[in-house]
Amino acid sequence: MLKDKGEQRTSLASLGEFGLIDHLTANLKCTQPSTVKGIGDDAAVLDFKSKKIVVSTDLLVEGVHFDLSYMPLKHLGYKAIVVNLSDIYAMNATATQVTVSIAVSNRFPLEALEELYKGIQMAAEVYKVDVVGGDTTSSTKGLLISVTAIGEVEEENITYRNGAKENDLLVVTGDVGGAFLGLKVLQREKSVFEVNPNNQPDLDMYTYIIERQLKPEARKDISKLLHDLDVKPTSMIDISDGLSSEIMHLCKQSKVGCNLYEDKIPLDPQVISTCEEFNIDSTMVALSGGEDYELLFTVRQEDFPKIKANPNFSIIGHITEAREGIHLVTRANTKIPLKAQGWNAMDEQE
């Protein structure tokens, strides 16, 4: 969050663009063998030898993707890195470097950006990626953050969205729906605070789902876990826009259909209890919520014995012929056509 008026506020103009970059990146260290040259020249120099390179980029815009009234800047920096790394892990690859660019308005002092970069540095250290470049510029619309993530993978291990085959099993890591509900709780408490600023929210009962929203974690562990189990996914995608949207992406790219079983969707108990409190259907939340950053993938039927008892995975459906369509099989054993109702950034525009 922005600093209180009584705290130190150093104007960004007093440093200038290059002084600001030097200041914010002074503590960032490069540790990846593939990083030949990081920040400090016209371009980074990377050497991946015989491996394939995967690159993904993402843009976070204040007022569309985050609200600084309840998103601490340190958390925002951490999340900005994590959501990009998730795309690299969804390729069954290892993330190695990121670049970070920010556009910032003059309402932000240096101390606010220091908080943002503390989160960026923390994520870089946790996920063992090097920050090798970026850009800073001014903005008239608040804060914008653009992160590009780079990773490496052996060619035979690359996993695309288009490899799912009929009879493959549909698998998801972790649990889903928590990030959306964490956002709902934060939005509710913001509304209460605006009416009564003296009201102090008690969020202890929502700890897990709020953390899923403010400080998500990407599934760095899954690629190694699958490798150790001798399982090669046939397709994979990360869950950023909601389970239903991601299933439909996989099916469209792979030209297949799917049956998703409602009773197999993994939900945390805090998700279930908060859905009851908000009087929201938990399946709808799981399908449409988004921002969970779990991985959704398919495996061959013969790999079932290797993953069936693993607590990291839930088998939630199976792939069918394209002509059979994409369906949710309800607890009452009714088949309902699945619709992509995930979050859409374009809907936020006026």
Distances in Å between the alpha carbon of 18 and those of 14, 21, 66? Answer: 11, 5, 27
CA-derived radius of gyration, the chain: 21
Question: 3-class DSSP state for residue 173?
Answer: strand
**Does 57 show up as a binding residue in the annotation?**
yes
**Does 117 show up as a binding residue in the annotation?**
yes
**Does 101 show up as a binding residue in the annotation?**
no
**Does 69 show up as a binding residue in the annotation?**
no
- Burial status of residue 239 (CB atoms within 10 A of its CB: 0-12, 13-18, 19 or more): buried
**Does 238 show up as a binding residue in the annotation?**
yes
**Does 139 show up as a binding residue in the annotation?**
no
**Does 130 show up as a binding residue in the annotation?**
no
**Does 223 show up as a binding residue in the annotation?**
no
Return the closest-CA partner of residue 238 out of 262, 222, 261.
Answer: 222
**Does 135 show up as a binding residue in the annotation?**
yes
Return the closest-CA partner of residue 94 out of 204, 8, 219.
Answer: 219
Tell me the H-state helices in the chain. Answer: 16-25, 73-89, 110-126, 178-195, 207-214, 221-228, 243-254, 269-278, 282-288, 304-307
For the chain, how far is it from start to end, CA to CA, in angstroms?
26
Please state the length of the chain: 350
**Does 50 show up as a binding residue in the annotation?**
no
**Does 161 show up as a binding residue in the annotation?**
yes
Residue list, annotated binding site: 42, 56-58, 65, 87, 117, 134-135, 161, 238, 240-241, 291, 343
Residue list for the binding site for substrate: 65, 291, 343
Annotated binding-site members for ATP: 117, 134-135, 161, 240
Q: Which residues are annotated as a binding site for Mg(2+)?
A: 42, 56-58, 87, 135, 238, 241
